[in-house]
Amino acid sequence: MSAEPASKRRRFTGPQGFLLAGSFLITLGSFAVLPYMSVLLHQRLGLGLGTVGFVLAVASLIQFAGGVVAGPVAARIGLRRSMLLALALRTAGFGAFVPGLTSPVLAIGALLLVSAGAALYLPANKAYLVDGSPDHDRPRLLSASSSAFNAGMALGPPAAAPLVLGSPGVLFTCVAGLFALVGVGHAFLPRDGARPVTVPDRPPGADGPRSGLSPFLVTVVSVYAFMFFQHYLALYAVPRTSAGFYGVVLMGYAALLVVAQPLLAEWIAALGYPAALRWGFGAMAAGMAAIAGGGHVGIAVGGALLCLGEIVLFLKNDLEALARSSAPPATVFGRQRLAAGIGAFASGVVGGQLYAAAESAGSARAFWVAVCLQCLLLPVLLMRRRSARGRSEPRAETPAGLGGG
């Protein structure tokens, strides 16, 4: 039996294990607070809903689009120091929420600090995680990272529910303390370049053709399609089922994501990019169609199918972006965050108009049908764009049996 499969199954290094545990704790702390931010700003601080929406939009823009500065910052001060800076910003932000509970200005400033820290942290975290690892380890590492983040996202809101309205000062103090402790742990990580670097050894043909499809554009479109589900499922599902059932669907979704992504990581890595698009968008289209059917079963099955679509597309997009770029990983992941932010923004704008039109027509199900059709059409448009670029760009000759770079 060859050594290759065994190497693929090897355990995480100490720094990698710490980063994965830290990713869980960081997301647990963040999602103990951030999902309730609109309630705190509106009900406790008395801000109007229009102002709240604007503040949250700016915070989201900083968190996503701000990822593009993560690469230059990491190049200047290093990945470990970038993570430490990000955690210091987030610790200060959550700490500032304690006096900010009586001051809208302080609360908004605290939220923007937290968002700036998030923009810096995630690209540096992912880059440090894969730094020095061979290409065949990247699917395993990135899928484990996604699982850690999603586990924290799932457990954060219910963990904080008893405190968020009754004792928010205690909650923010605990979260700030958690971030400070995780930051201290990061200070003991090896410096960048202190770990051995392994020569990449991508399996032949695992990533499919390298021309045509742009991971940045595919990420924009993937997040655009997915966020219809994220933004509007509650509006559709709660009146037709119950708030309790909706909560169960979200918890089941998160649990499936945590478990399934590491199991599917190597299969996803071996898919060609066009095949991944067909699988991912096909699962999303089927999920939207199931949700349109309504009822408990349709919504639950739709959630499971959307989960499969997210697993395939989001992991494959990151792997392709890494494989196709000569830029440092922190820069690549920063660009991917920007792409996700563009997609989420576009989905929010289009989705609001589309859902309002569907309700005005007397059929909210028409919204999910329309989104299903988009999920079927988008990969076709992406593939046509790829084919058009392939015809318009001259191809360098390569020896028989070898793919072009």
In this structure, the answer to whether residues 248 and 165 fall within a common structural domain is no
CA dist 145 and 126 (Å) reads 8
As a whole number, mean pLDDT of residues 15-31 equals: 91
Q: Identify whether 181 is part of a domain.
A: yes
Residues 305-311 have a mean pLDDT of: 95
Residue 99 and residue 44 share a domain: yes
pLDDT over threshold 50, residue 395: no
Q: Is the pLDDT of residue 4 over 70?
A: no
pLDDT for res 318: 93
Which range among 14-23, 198-207, 318-327, 364-373 shows the weakest confidence by mean pLDDT? 198-207
242 in the same domain as 165: no
- As a whole number, the mean pLDDT across the chain is 83
Residue 364 and residue 300 share a domain: yes
Domain that holds residue 143: 15-186
Given a cut of 60, whether residue 196 has pLDDT beyond it is: no
Please count the structural domains in the chain. 2
141 and 234 inside one domain: no
Residue finishing a domain among 169, 186, 203:
186
| Between residues 119 and 402, the one the model is more confident about | 119
Residues 244 and 322 in one domain: yes
Per-residue pLDDT tens over the stretch 133-156: 888 888 989 999 888 988 888 788
400 occurs within a structural domain: no
Q: CATH number of the domain at 88, please.
A: 1.20.1250.20
Same domain, 173 and 239: no
Is residue 46's pLDDT more than 50?
yes
The verdict on residue 220 lying in a domain is: yes
222 shares a domain with 159: no
Residues 59 and 123 in one domain: yes
- In this model, does residue 197 exceed pLDDT 60? no
Residues 175, 27 share a domain: yes
Is the predicted pLDDT of residue 67 greater than 50, yes or no?
A: yes
